[in-house]
């Protein structure tokens, strides 16, 4: 079964739990979700490990937003701002629209970066790429590696249970 269908079933089980408990509070919703997660994980073992990566991903994104905010604030507070902004083509291993939208969104959420466009890289045999504008690009390869080894890798671990398929 797909991860999306399993997630919908998990949410449905959490809603059923709320009906059975005759409650609408957040704690009971979380308990219902965890119970659903356990039940589905017994039937589909990969779901629990992949679902458990979501909070790690959220914390990673928050951490990157905080770090990037501090860097951008440092640029603003300096008198002589010397940045080398530009656009980098980041080849994607994510392929489905949800994965691509998630990757593009978290890049744009991070201060100092912005997803400009989804395109194809002619040098890479038409492989799909994200064109990312960055406020300061000292090393384009380092920026590409950071996106691929950070955001993209974690998205693939959640959606596919591992790296590129």
Let me know whether 39 and 103 are in one domain.
Answer: no
Position 165 scores a pLDDT of 46
66-117, pLDDT tens digit by residue?
999 999 998 888 878 788 899 999 999 998 888 999 999 999 999 999 999 9
Last residue of a domain, one of 51, 72, 91: 51
115-127 mean pLDDT: 80
5-36, pLDDT tens digit by residue?
888 898 899 999 999 999 888 888 888 888 88
Let me know whether 34 and 90 are in one domain.
Answer: no
Looking at the domain assignment, is residue 10 inside a domain? yes
Looking at the domain assignment, is residue 69 inside a domain? no
Its domain, for residue 38, covers 3-51
Looking at the domain assignment, is residue 115 inside a domain? yes
Residues 6+ apart with CB under 8 A from 131: 87, 88, 89, 90, 115, 116, 117, 118, 119
CATH of the domain at 109: 3.30.70
Length of the chain equals 165
Q: Quick one: angle between helices 97-109 and 53-77, nearest 10?
A: 30
Looking at the domain assignment, is residue 155 inside a domain? yes
Report yes or no: 50 and 163 within 8 Å, Cβ to Cβ: no
Looking at the domain assignment, is residue 56 inside a domain? no
Number of domains in the chain: 2
Position 154 scores a pLDDT of 92
């Amino acid at each position: 079964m797909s991860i999306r269908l399993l997630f919908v079933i998990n949410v449905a089980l959490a809603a059923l739990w709320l009906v059975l408990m005759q409650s609408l509070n957040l704690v009971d919703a979380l308990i219902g979700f965890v119970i659903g997660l356990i039940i589905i994980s017994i039937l589909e073992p990969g779901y629990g490990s992949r679902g458990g990566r979501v909070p790690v991903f959220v914390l990673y994104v928050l951490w990157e937003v905080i770090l990037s905010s501090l860097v951008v604030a440092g640029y603003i507070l300096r008198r002589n701002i010397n940045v080398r902004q530009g656009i980098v083509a980041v080849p994607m291993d994510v392929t489905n629209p949800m994965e691509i939208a998630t990757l593009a969104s978290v890049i744009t959420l991070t201060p100092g970066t912005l997803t400009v466009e989804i395109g194809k890289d002619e040098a890479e045999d038409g492989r799909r790429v994200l064109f990312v504008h960055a406020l300061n690009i000292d090393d384009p390869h380092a920026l590409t590696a950071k996106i691929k080894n950070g955001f993209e890798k974690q998205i693939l671990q959640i959606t596919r249970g591992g790296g590129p398929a």
